Amino acid sequence: MTAQTTAHPAGALAGLTVIETAERVSGEYTAKLLADLGATVIKIEAPGGAPTRRMGPFKAGESALFAYLNANKKSVVLDLANPGERALLDRLLARADALVDDHDEPWAETHALSPAVIAQAHPRLVHCIVTPFGQGAPPEWQTARPINVINAGGWAYHSPSETPNDKPPLKGAGRFLSDYEAGIDAALCVMASLLRQRRTGMGQFIDISEVEVQLNRIDCVLDRMIAGEADPSAARTAYDMGGPGTSFACKDGHVFLFMTTRGHWNALRGLMGDPAWAREFREDWLEFDCVPANVARFRQHFAAWIAGQDKLPITEAAQKAGVAMVPVNTAADLPRHEQFEHRGFFQQAGHPVFGPVAYPTACYRMSATPVRIASAAPALGADNREVEASDADA
């Protein structure tokens, strides 16, 4: 199986080589962001392949998650317990610019990839490790899953708002939200360190804590509690911004309504044609009479009205009228979204198993070095011969 390659302009990080020994989403996403920017990323996989190759969803037996995280990379299979293959990794590191990892400290010590060892053997290398709680945490903490991280960082408790107290907290937007957030910070740190490396010739070690990334993203409601302006509570509604807004079913999906002011209410009344039930509410009820009974009564009437509306026309009309209402998009909606099409966010590229695929790319557009899907995620060990040949020539 070979990846289909498409010619494209050199990326912003072209000429830089990154070695990836990561085996979790956080480290793989870090390296993916660098690969998307044009770096040559050599993914080191253990015999049998990366764990993400065995994570769903699947199509034709192939992991869609792996396909997303590893486009634009090369795959080299090395058994790091084998001295000869471990020596090849050291030779690759000697010629590389950065190393991205996401293993715990015992694994790094066992494989001679600890920060101290790397700093001594490869002082020019930028070395980044992404772990749930950062270096020095108790070993049992580093086995945390994304749902543990997102809760430890304070986010999942109110994801989503209005969840009944007898229901467990959710993970947030997707099962790997904390991994993706940490990967963004890790990639930024790697790029900043690569600039320093270019100026000074020296590398450095980057220690990313996924939980601290979550704390860094803390929202205004949690801020108020930490500052003492609001009291924490076991009730999920303690984290809500207030008002009757939530998700509502419409004719072809769902919309989300956020409404807290008199202006919002008057605009919504106009949008609905000022029905008789709406005139029974005080004009300032959202500010001075937003009690549970009124919230429940509003939701009952509004749910009946919005159920007959199509989500895109009504949300566009709402926003023009000054109502904070948005469509709840599904994964199937996004590739057909007019603005994403305009920006070229999804790019068509070939995959050896999936066939033509609409790949999500990046949230930025760069005029001289645009992000391109140059190659699909590699087959296991697809680049061993190329890397071994270049090692023999070095």
Q: For position 165, what pLDDT does the model report?
A: 66
Same domain, 375 and 318: no
Q: CA–CA separation, 5 vs 8, rounded Å?
A: 9
- Name which residue leads in pLDDT, 336 or 106: 106
Question: What CATH code is carried by the domain that includes residue 87?
Answer: 3.40.50.10540
**Of 308, 331, 354, the domain-final residue:** 331
Q: For position 34, what pLDDT does the model report?
A: 98
Same domain, 282 and 362: no
- Name which residue leads in pLDDT, 171 or 323: 323
Number of domains in the chain: 2
Q: Which of 16-25, 287-296, 324-333 has the highest average model confidence (pLDDT)?
A: 16-25
Same domain, 207 and 315: no
Helix (H, G, I), strand (E, B) or coil at 242: coil
Same domain, 25 and 162: yes
pLDDT in tens, 317-363: 999 999 999 999 998 899 988 899 999 999 999 999 999 989 999 99
Average pLDDT over residues 101-110: 97
Same domain, 185 and 301: no
Name the pLDDT band for 394 (thresholds 50, 70, 90).
confident
How many CB atoms are located within 10 Å of the residue 247 CB?
A: 14
Same domain, 143 and 53: yes
Please list, in sequence order, all residues whose beta carbon lies within 8 angstroms of the beta carbon of residue 151, skipping any fewer than 6 positions away: 157, 169
Same domain, 205 and 67: yes
Residue 238 lies in a domain: no
Statement: residue 6 has pLDDT above 50: no
In the 8-state DSSP scheme, what is residue 145? -
Residue 237 lies in a domain: no
- Here the tokens at position 353 are 């198993």
Mean pLDDT across the chain, nearest whole number? 90
Same domain, 72 and 181: yes
Residue 265 domain boundaries: 243-331
**Of 316, 331, 346, the domain-final residue:** 331
Average pLDDT over residues 303-322: 97
Q: For position 160, what pLDDT does the model report?
A: 59
Q: For position 266, what pLDDT does the model report?
A: 96
Same domain, 323 and 363: no
Statement: residue 90 has pLDDT above 70: yes
Same domain, 97 and 113: yes
- Name which residue leads in pLDDT, 154 or 320: 320
Q: For position 162, what pLDDT does the model report?
A: 58
Please list, in sequence order, all residues whose beta carbon lies within 8 angstroms of the beta carbon of residue 274, skipping any fewer than 6 positions away: none
Residue 4 lies in a domain: no
Same domain, 137 and 52: yes
Question: What CATH code is carried by the domain that includes residue 270?
Answer: 3.30.1540.10
**Of 314, 331, 348, the domain-final residue:** 331
Q: For position 5, what pLDDT does the model report?
A: 46
113-127, 212-226, 354-368: which has the minimum mean pLDDT? 212-226
Residue 179 lies in a domain: yes
Q: For position 155, what pLDDT does the model report?
A: 77
Same domain, 184 and 288: no
What is the biggest distance separating any 2 CA atoms in the chain, rounded to whole angstroms?
A: 82
- Kindly report the backbone phi and psi dihedral angles of residue 302, in degrees, each rounded to the nearest multiple of 5, phi listed first: -65, -40
Locate tokens 């919005």: which residue?
Answer: 306
Residue 60 lies in a domain: yes
In our burial notation (b when 16+ CB lie closer than 10 A, e otherwise), range 310-319 reads ebbebbeebe
Residue 142 lies in a domain: yes
Left if phi > 0, otherwise alpha if psi is -120 to 50, otherwise beta: which for 71? Answer: beta
Locate tokens 């004009």: which residue?
Answer: 283
Q: CA–CA separation, 234 vs 229, rounded Å?
A: 16
Residue 223 lies in a domain: no
Q: For position 239, what pLDDT does the model report?
A: 54
Residue 230 lies in a domain: no
pLDDT in tens, 176-219: 989 999 999 999 999 999 999 999 999 999 999 999 999 888 77
